[in-house]
Structure 1
Amino acid sequence: MVRIAVLQARAGLNDPDANLALLRRFAAQAAAGGAELIVTPELFATGYAPAKVRNSDGASIRAELARIAVEEGIGVVGSTVEDDGGTGYISASLFDESGRELLRYRKAHLFGAEERGSYAPGTGVPVVAEFRGLQIALGICYDIEFPEYSRSAARAGADLLCIPTAVPATGDVGGSEPLLTYNSERISTLLVPARALENGVYIAYANHMAPDFTGTSVIASPYGTLLAEAGAGEELLFAGIEPDEVLRARGINTYADDARPDLYR
């Protein structure tokens, strides 16, 4: 079993020093609580404001995330801006406790005009890296809302999907009756567990806190249950991830084996 932690907190806009200091404090708290990996929200080091942080120094922030991993003795999943020859991406990285970057993933599904006007979408499919005997894949926020992403990660061999997230609060919107409305909190409480169930994977989903964001960070099991769920405020969630449960869950719900990708386009 690998014990993980998911951070939900508030990040100041364009204040990486303060945000990284907060992340460091929670990384130390997570390590003290027995966690071997901490997953943090989307663009937490800069604050989530896609257009305003597009020119942030992602390389220096990634170096600091690696330093935190080493000094606190814990794996870290963090999200940064990545510049590749003048083209910007929202990315996520997995660092092990030695500070080595095991994975970097570019967000494939950009959300809204601000993201699409500031960044290019990633074009690579999810890949996995081994961490403490777990096969881990990265995604970012809106990615998990598309079934193709999580199915691709599961087919690549992932046991655990780590998803830095920034889900804006919507309140109830849509129809005039309560049962005919949408609330973005449902992504955490309904959609993420469904993705975990239909693919037989664990999902660590780390969001920013309310009121601007929904909060409600979660850790979902491969059975579609919630092992941990945050409220609206600052919180550190813990759960144990067991690869054997991935195998058991996939033996019960054989969706991956029974899927017909040749039938549907």
Structure 2
Amino acid sequence: MKVALGQFAVAADWHTNQAACLKLIARAKSGGADLLVLPEGILARDINDPEIMPKTAQPLDGPFMAGLCAASEGITVMGCVNVPDGDGRFYNTLVVLRDGNIIARYRKIHLYDAFGARESDRTAPGHSLPPVIEIGGLKVGVMTCYDVRFPEVARALAAAGAEVIAIPAAWIRGPGKEHHWRVLNTARALDNTCYVVAVGECGVRNCGASMVVDPLGVVTLDLGEAPALGFCDLDPARIAHARKVLPVIENRRFANPILRSA
């Protein structure tokens, strides 16, 4: 499976961001990608306006998503948008698009209430584990940003058959934070002998640092901190080899993790 990582700096206006996404989709198609992973919060962002996300949230049948859906013919696209919850907050919603349709969605369950941030002030949490989708002959599970700090989510995806974990994110810069990002993505790949495709928003607040980590913890693609589109081939033989020489899923002594509904 060929994956494209579309790293960009999200603007305050959703029209600008939609145009940026459409360009990345077109370039990913031209490059032969089966899957394009975009960052978290691609609808709107403004570090000077903490209310921009609830103010600009759109339903999944709104104009932002309509444009992206129309462009998804012949490719699978995923990223995170803000969807109103009907009660003044929004769901941080990961969507998977293919051939003009939304084929899967996931509401972020772990909200970023850490390092002085309070995502839960404006965001409503989801209560269901993320899905696993078949893309390009591989089974792909999804998580969103802060979820990567919770290994039970990645293990649940691997137990459900995931061979790849895709992680749209908006990883905030800070002392040690970029190191955390690299270590956590590498750990989730090694924990589950799967590929991790992690795509971060870049710009003033967030570090970018989109990467692909292979099932034995080797970083095979790193996009740095500037806007970029990168491509990487994910090899089923590499997954099979990793799971043969490092059978952690087979050797584990614990039951499959189950998320308790709140």
TM-score (norm 1): 0.87
Cα shift readout 1:54-73 (whole Å, capped 9, x = no counterpart): 24113213222211212xx3
- Do residues 6 (structure 1) and 5 (structure 2) align? yes
After superposition, the Cα gap between the structure-2 partners of 1:48 and 1:255, relative to the gap in structure 1 and judged at 3 Å, is farther
Within 5 A, what are the aligned runs for 1:234-253? 234-253=227-246
Contact conserved, 1:79 with 1:90, CA < 8 A, in 2? yes
- Runs (4+) of structure 1 exceeding 3 A deviation are 48-51, 83-87
Q: Which of 137, 145, 148 in structure 2 is aligned with 1:144?
A: 148
Q: Which of 88, 91, 94 in structure 2 is aligned with 1:89?
A: 91
Corresponding position of 2:129: 125
Aligned with 1:260: secondary structure?
coil
* Superposition deviation, residue 93 in structure 1: 1.0
Q: Which residue identity does 2:8 align to in structure 1?
A: A
Contact conserved, 1:207 with 1:216, CA < 8 A, in 2? yes
CA distance in 1, matches of 2:53, 2:14: 10
Cα shift readout 1:97-146 (whole Å, capped 9, x = no counterpart): x1222210111110024311112221112321212212111110000111
- Do residues 159 (structure 1) and 158 (structure 2) align? no
Gaps of 5+ in 2: 258-262
Aligned with 2:126: secondary structure?
coil
CA RMSD, Structure 1 to Structure 2 (Å) = 1.9
Aligned with 2:146: secondary structure?
helix
Corresponding position of 2:110: 109
Count of residue pairs brought into register by the alignment: 247
* Superposition deviation, residue 154 in structure 1: 0.6
* Superposition deviation, residue 169 in structure 1: 0.7
Corresponding position of 1:230: 223
CA distance in 2, matches of 1:144, 1:23: 24
TM-score (norm 2): 0.88
Contact conserved, 1:3 with 1:240, CA < 8 A, in 2? yes
Gaps of 5+ in 1: 173-182
Aligned with 1:205: secondary structure?
strand
Aligned sequence identity (%): 30
Within 5 A, what are the aligned runs for 1:1-265? 2-13=1-12, 15-47=13-45, 51-55=51-55, 56-59=57-60, 60=62, 61-70=64-73, 73-86=74-87, 88-96=90-98, 98-112=99-113, 113-170=117-174, 172=175, 183-261=176-254
Contact conserved, 1:207 with 1:214, CA < 8 A, in 2? yes
Contact conserved, 1:65 with 1:78, CA < 8 A, in 2? no
State which drifts further: 225-234 or 183-192. Answer: 183-192
Contact conserved, 2:45 with 2:52, CA < 8 A, in 1? no
Cα shift readout 1:212-258 (whole Å, capped 9, x = no counterpart): 21121101111111110011111111101123322221111111122
